[in-house]
Amino acid sequence: MLSRTVGASGLKVSRMGLGTLTWGGQTDVQDARTMLLRFVEAGGSLIDTAPAYASGLAEKIIGRAIHLDLNRDDLVIATKAGFTVEGPDRIVDTSRSAMLRDLEGSLRRLRTDHVDLWQVHAWGDAPLEETCEALDHAVRSGMARYVGVSNFVGWQSATAATWQRAEHSRMPIVSNQVEYSLLARRAEIEVVPAARHHRMGVLAWSALGRGVLAGRYRTGTPRDSRGANDKLSWFVEPYLTTKSRAVAEAVAKAADGLGITPAQVALSWVRDAPQVASALVGPRTPAQLTELLAADEHELPDEITAALDDITGGPNLLR
């Protein structure tokens, strides 16, 4: 699998990243382990996780694989801090103490002394300079190699990047991880231009439109899908609209013409969009991962990319 640098940094990641949101929940431990090994065997390196994923179990699965099956240096581990789930409540705490406490917990669960990319999971109420000081401390202490942000809108990412570059002693923000797909192109308005201006890479999460662009919801909601799951249906529901289904049909039509699958079309479109360092996917089964890995062999023809652009909002002005 080809690799790319993240923004203007020296961090290199596989151009497809493996997300672990469902690990320990919808995806059982054995399937998660199988996917991790298969991903690395295929040349993938970027593993994206967070303390909030299955209350830390996703990180534990990765840590056990490192301990038993993998060479730590073969992985680029990206985790996050500042966001937790307690019952029905989603709590954002980006204070220095909360951030560093999260990082220390991640390192224990991951069974490693450092993460390659440490990200602020969401914009919080703590003073930005306090949050950023935690990022600086993590790198200086060796607990993290690079730092980034996640789910920051354009002005938030630009503010953080500017603050960090105001003094040479601070660690630059190298990435912003945001939702980006054919069903979620709003990042092109401010987030992607801000990333380009501040020399950050974009890590595009949910490159398959929360699974909808893979084509499984074209005629309904499968019983074994996220959309039918009590804990995850809220995540998929915004894209189960007439407009979204029309986009999914267009993706399926392009796939038929190219002789590949809808998931491979949707992934390729995001992966090769301007400023994207890696497209993150969250397959729930090894079979789904195998299908996505095959996308590395394909690039969309320019005319197909342009047609999908037009159907989903117009030309990408940064192409």
Of 53, 146, 180, 239, the active-site residue reads: 53
Single out the residue of 73, 70, 79 nearest to residue 21, CA to CA. Answer: 79
Assess whether 146 carries a catalytic annotation: no
CA–CA separation, 193 and 181 (whole Å):
16
In eight-state DSSP terms, residue 182 is T
Give the 3-state secondary structure of residue 129: helix
CA–CA separation, 314 and 305 (whole Å):
11
Question: According to DSSP H, which parts of the chain are helical?
Answer: 29-41, 57-68, 96-110, 128-140, 154-165, 191-197, 233-236, 242-258, 262-271, 286-293, 302-311
* Three-point CA angle 154, 155, 160, nearest 5°: 105
CA–CA separation, 298 and 303 (whole Å):
15
Which residues are the active-site residues? Answer: 53
